[in-house]
Structure 1
Amino acid sequence: MNTAITTPRSRAYFQLMRPANIVTAWADILAGLAASGSIALANQAVIEGSTPDNLISSIAWLLLSTTGLYGGGVIFNDVFDAEIDAIERPERPIPSGRVSRKEAVSIGSLFLCVGILAALQVSWLSAALACSIAAAALLYDAWGKHHPVFGPFNMGLCRGCNLLLGLSAISSAIAEYWLLALIPIVYIAAITTLSRGEVHGGKASTGIIALLLISTVIAGLLGLSLLNNYHLLAALPFVILLAVRVLLPFIKAVSKPSPENIRIAVRAGILSLIVLDATVASGFAGLPYGFIVLLLLPVSIALSKIFAVT
């Protein structure tokens, strides 16, 4: 492992950022790019012997943007949770004293600013979406997470807008495919609903709601076949993989809502965001592109073994 990551202070910074989760945010961008038609345009440019420089630049800026936005959002999550973490998770960077609260605020603010400025390099629409993501993340961190109904959908809104951020690579695509944002919104709402029992255990009724939401997402992914340029056969292997990875631990968490079972289900759900994005990406851009997005999964899983995802 890189020495820079193994030093106590550097490790504390990485723990704040939750790098495994940031990789899942990259997958949102790649899925949005597929839905926008950007990948198809890039493939056409390569076939014609030209280099899609503008697209490559947009992808780089949008990936940097989502890194800043997600990193900043989860850092502020620890800032607002410092008192609770001091009791429930004293090993976290702020309550353990490895990073001061003031320092975390500075780093989180820097990350959010980088996210917005990077999006601005693509378009004003991208920058507006980045501002919306930052605002939604801060609202969730400060208030939304404590609200039993609004909280889960507040968190989902962050991921839905993140998918739209990728879609904004071609601004006109937003008007046509903005409803795609509902898929990650409902998916994250399911995970957030279930995660409320991570520390003390949950209720079976809460788990059932989360399970129904996940089932709705899977049905929605299949329903995308109603779109003219979405190919269900290309997406179907990823739908099956998603169902296996998420439904099984969710069902176990419903049948026995212990903190451990809920943490396992939540972790599987967060990491499987990449599978969800690969499903969307393959449906719009083909099976090979879906597998490219899926390659982020082992990266995220490896990072999750080093740094906590929740």
Structure 2
Amino acid sequence: MPLSQKLRAYLQLMRPANIVTAIADILAGAAASGSILLITNGEAAGGDDSSLINLLWLVVATIGLYGGGVVFNDVFDAKLDREERPERPIPRGDVSVTEGAILGGVLLVGGILSALQVSIKSFIIAVAVALCALLYDAWGKHQRIFGPINMGLCRGGNLLLGVSLVPAAIADYWYLSLIPIVYIAAITMVSRGEVHGSSRSALWGGVGMYSAVIVSLAVVAFREEAHWSALLFLGLFASQIYPPLFKAIRYAEPQFIGKAVKAGVISLIILNATFVSIFASALFGLLVLLLLPLSIGLARYFAVT
């Protein structure tokens, strides 16, 4: 097999469009901890760049953690995918199960070691995220109730990884991780009908959980006195997640459910941009939003689900 084809297969396993959303998680956590403003003010004053370096380490960490997690998803699902997802790299024969496991292991270990460069707390959170990802891949995804929560814990932990740039901030802002936990749990619940279709009750449950996320973000925005900018971001967020989900409810067919899931995953960037606008500024939120076209562009070439 040509090297270029092998590399593309590895990238397909890692789901690059999704990794961009994980980077946005780190930026959202960094904003909540005050690190983004600290970095900006430090550079303006000619100070040291340690905060920026630590932020870059955590970006590398989340690439490894998320990439490794989704690679192991396909490793554990190799047998099932031969029947339901034959287009994926492992059942297609482009990557063996052993090669996938090695790639996933290298990515997870690399992510954990990168987090260790920042602090012990970052290291502990990274280990927890890696374990949650493996638990989901091997067992959690098959659990009707715990599965969506398990997947949500991975994202909530990823946000906390960003907050850990200022370790003391974890105690003040740990509750923010509940928002991505609920949101990802909703996407995971909706995605279960992507292959064979889904009941409308589960899809309506997704609508309710999406609404809880929006209300929670609005409450956080008012608490932080970031009313108007956050509302604009929330309006954009709602405009991206609801229409495809309501279409999926109308038809309850796999192709529409898949589009709803894809929209939910990519809209994580808007969710994180909202966090950044609340805790840093609307301008920084817009900068994070620039990751959206990158993720959408990658999603045209690499599968999101």
Shorter-chain TM-score: which interval? Answer: over 0.9
Deviations 1:82-102 (A, max 9, x none): 011000111211111111101
**1:75 aligned residue (71, 93, 98):** 71
Would you say 1:303 and 2:298 are equivalent positions? yes
Could you say which residue in structure 2 is the equivalent of 1:248? 243
Displacement of 1:41 after TM fit?
1.5
Match status 1:85 vs 2:81: yes
The equivalent residue for 2:117 is 121
Distance in 1, matches of 2:240 and 2:27, equals 21
Pairwise CA distance, 1:233: 1.6
Q: Is the 8 A contact 1:119 1:126 kept in 2?
A: yes
Match of 2:275 among 280, 294, 305: 280
Secondary structure of the corresponding residue to residue 199 of structure 1: coil
Where in structure 2 are the equivalents of 1:50-61 lying within 5 Å? Answer: 50-61=46-57
Equivalent pair of 2:42/2:49 in contact (CA under 8 Å): no
1:151-230 alignment, distance < 5 Å: 151-227=147-223, 229-230=224-225
Residues 64, 107 of structure 2: 8 Å contact kept = yes
SS at match of 2:94: coil
- Is 2:265 the counterpart of 1:270? yes
Contact 2:221 2:230 survives alignment (8 Å): no
Distance 1:134 1:97 in 2: 26
* SS class of match (2:213): helix
After TM superposition, give the deviation of residue 50 of structure 1 in Å. Answer: 1.3
Superposition TM-score, scaled by structure 2 size? 0.97
Q: Is the 8 A contact 1:204 1:254 kept in 2?
A: yes
Counterpart of 2:42?
A: 45
Q: Is the 8 A contact 1:68 1:114 kept in 2?
A: yes
Task: Give the whole-Å Cα distance in 2 for the aligned partners of 1:195 and 1:81.
Answer: 15
Residue identity in the other structure for 2:170: I
Instruction: Find the counterpart in structure 2 of residue 134 from structure 1.
Output: 130
What letter is aligned with 1:253? Answer: A
Q: Distance in 2 between matches of 1:295 and 1:68?
A: 22
Aligned length: 304
| SS of match in other structure, 2:99 | helix
Letter in 2 for 1:207: L
Q: Distance in 1 between matches of 2:225 and 2:190?
A: 31
Closer/same/farther in 2, CA of residues 28 and 298 from structure 1, 3 Å limit: same
**Cα 1:287/1:88, change in 2 over 3 Å:** same
| 1:230 CA drift (Å) | 4.6
Distance 1:213 1:256 in 2: 20
The alignment partner of 1:169 has SS state of coil
- C-alpha deviations, 1:36-87, integer Å up to 9, x for none? 011122232233x214411111111000000000000000000000011000
SS in 1 for 2:88: coil
50-59 vs 179-188, which moves further: 50-59
Aligned Cα root-mean-square deviation (Å): 1.2
The separation in 2 between residues aligned to 1:247 and 1:120, in whole angstroms, is: 38
Compute the displacement of 1:290 (Å): 0.1
Q: Which runs of 4+ in 1 moved over 3 A?
A: none
Contact 1:230 1:284 in 2 (8 A): no
The answer to whether the Cα contact below 8 Å between 2:108 and 2:130 also exists between their aligned partners in 1 is yes
Q: In 1, are the aligned partners of 2:149 and 2:181 still within 8 Å (CA)? A: yes
CA drift at 1:232: 2.1
Show structure 2 runs of 5+ residues with no match: none
Q: Structure 2 CA distance, aligned partners of 1:43 and 1:66?
A: 22
Alpha-carbon distance between aligned partners in 1 of 2:78 and 2:47, rounded to the nearest angstrom = 48
Q: For residues 104 and 15 of structure 2, what CA distance do their matches in structure 1 show?
A: 12
- In the alignment, does 2:107 pair up with 1:108? no
Greater mean deviation of Cα atoms: 273-282 or 245-254: 245-254
8 A Cα contact 2:203 2:249, kept in partner: yes
Select 1:23's aligned residue among 15, 20, 25: 20
Match among 249, 256, 260 for residue 261 of structure 1: 256
Structure 2 counterpart SS, 1:94 = helix
